[in-house]
């Protein structure tokens, strides 16, 4: 058996459940031949092939193993990418989305800050930070992040809508209404915007 990550041959006795590398925990590849009897060129040729049958057979075992050990295959893949290139902004961003899906906003914020370290004008990172700030009821911080998004993407209606929502929850109805009005100019039939405007106007009357 062979681990493509560690680039090591692993005997079946050492393998975890005979399917996973004892060094890194990743799936091992078995090609139906005793690896110790293969010459290096033949082994390399075998490793270049895609053995879909083996992959399909082990897929449910692999998923079970990583779930049981409280880890995730996508997480490992992203961490591998960042080990190769710590300045991979796309991998940092995908890692942030992974953490958000797993309800770990603190870890997501760390990854998003890494994105901004590499790409200071990345509006997607600012947008995600803003939405996290709203969920944490840090409305002032959310407004700053949304301003960063709109500074580079003034027609980003999603950012403007959420900025209006942040003003609303902060109790600044006048500015919230102004933001919703700007969206209404672009999308006069947007039902959510119309309902928000009606609600704010009703509060004033």
Per-residue model confidence as pLDDT tens digits over 68-90: 444 555 777 788 788 888 999 99
pLDDT tens profile 102-133: 899 999 999 999 999 999 999 999 999 999 99
Q: Does 1 have pLDDT greater than 70? A: no
Interatomic CA distance for residues 50 and 138, integer angstroms: 49
pLDDT > 90? residue 67: no
CB neighbours of residue 118 within 10 Å: 15
Distance CA 4, CA 40 (A): 14
- The confidence band for 11, taking pLDDT boundaries of 50, 70 and 90, is low
Token pair belonging to 118: 């590499």
> What is the C-alpha separation between 57 and 128, in angstroms, rounded?
38
What's the predicted TM-score (pTM) here? 0.64
Task: List Cα–Cα distances, 13 to 19, 33, 57, 109, 157, in angstroms.
Answer: 10, 16, 20, 42, 58
- Kindly give, in sequence order, each residue whose CB lies less than 8 Å from that of residue 29, ignoring residues fewer than 6 positions away: 1, 2, 3, 4, 47, 51, 54
């Amino acid at each position: 058996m062979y681990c493509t990550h560690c680039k090591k041959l692993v005997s079946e006795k050492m393998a975890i459940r005979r399917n996973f590398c004892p060094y890194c925990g990743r799936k091992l590849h078995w090609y139906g031949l005793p690896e110790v009897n293969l010459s290096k060129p033949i082994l390399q040729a075998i490793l270049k092939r895609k053995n879909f049958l083996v992959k399909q057979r082990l897929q449910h075992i692999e998923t079970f193993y990583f779930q049981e050990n409280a880890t995730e295959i996508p997480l490992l893949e992203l961490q591998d990418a960042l080990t190769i290139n710590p300045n991979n902004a796309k991998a940092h961003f995908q890692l942030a989305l992974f953490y958000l899906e797993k309800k770990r906003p603190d870890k997501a914020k760390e990854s998003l800050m890494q994105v901004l370290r590499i790409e200071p004008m990345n509006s997607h990172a600012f947008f995600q930070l803003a939405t996290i700030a709203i969920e944490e009821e840090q409305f002032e911080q959310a407004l700053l992040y949304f301003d960063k998004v709109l500074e580079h993407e003034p027609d980003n209606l999603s950012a403007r809508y959420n900025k209006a929502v942040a003003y609303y929850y902060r109790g600044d109805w006048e500015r919230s209404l102004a933001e919703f009005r700007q969206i209404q100019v672009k999308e006069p039939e947007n039902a959510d915007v119309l309902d928000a405007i009606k609600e704010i106007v009703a509060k004033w009357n």
